[in-house]
Amino acid sequence: MRAGVLALQGDVPEHLRALADVVPAHDLVAVRGPGDLAEVGALFLPGGESTTIVRLLQQNGLWHPLGERLRAGLPVLATCAGLIVLARALAPGPSGTDPPTLEFLDVTVRRNDYGAQRESFEAAVRVEGLAGAPFPGVFIRAPRILEVGAAARPIAWWGEQVVGIRQGSVWGLTFHPELSPDRRLHRLFLESAAGAPTPRGTRRPRSPR
């Protein structure tokens, strides 16, 4: 399965470097247009500036195709600004004008909600399905998940605060797994993506051994 990183703005090189540890180079795609998107079986949405990413998605003809692939079941791991782009609703917050979103993930988030003096911090995150030590969560001007609707469920916590959710094969994280050396989350997501039903609802054949 080919894995793509949306490569319009943000921490794209960091995601590609992290993925290079877990995916063969020939299966990695930098997604810049609809043709690239059509090639991938899983997609990473990087952190960055959601207003810019939304504008570039629209300018590059990716806004509607991405919405369609999401609805068809494409596994996506969205980090930080990526989560904002997919959220059903944004609560007004300190950032002023919020971008339109793809309104896919059943969550309400508020941008930049951890406050200016804590623009960037690291915290131990508990992630469902990750054995061993907590995950080192890197938070950079992170959005806060305020509400998780019925279609989504929490999968990551910093103390009591939900910092990651999942809706079917789409994961949304407010922290940046690509910025820590720990690759467990990239692996876990790709394993689950490989087992996700294809858009036609059929499972990929398993190899006999």
Could you give the residue numbers annotated as active site?
80, 176, 178
Distance CA 151, CA 71 (A): 13
Nearer to ligand GLN, 41 or 47 (CB): 47
Part of the chain binding ligand GLN (CB under 6 A), chosen from 13-21, 44-52, 128-136, 194-202:
44-52
Residue 177 touching ligand GLN (CB under 6 A): no
Binding residue (CB under 6 A) for ligand GLN from 4, 41, 47, 172:
47
Interaction of residue 169 with ligand GLN, rule CB under 6 A: no
With respect to ligand GLN, which residue has the nearer C-beta, 69 or 141?
Answer: 141
Least Å distance between CB 115 and ligand GLN? 12
Residues 125-144 that bind ligand GLN (CB under 6 A): 140-141
Q: What CA–CA distance (Å, rounded) separates 49 from 52?
A: 5
Burial classification of residue 132, based on how many CB atoms lie within 10 Å of its CB (0-12 exposed, 13-18 middle, 19 or more buried): exposed
**Is 111 near ligand GLN (CB under 6 A)?**
yes
Strand partners, 91: none
101 scored as a contact of ligand GLN (CB under 6 A): no
Q: Is the dihedral of CA 33, 4, 122, 90 positive or negative?
A: positive
User: Three-state DSSP class for 39?
Assistant: helix
Q: How many residues bind ligand GLN (CB under 6 A)?
A: 12
Determine the Cα–Cα distance for residues 181 and 155; give it in Å rounded to an integer. 20
Cβ closest to ligand GLN, residue 114 vs residue 189: 114
Q: What 8-state DSSP symbol labels residue 27? A: G
How far apart, in whole angstroms, are the C-alpha atoms of residue 118 and residue 98? 21
Residue ranges in contact with ligand GLN by CB under 6 A: 47-50, 80-81, 84, 95, 111-112, 140-141
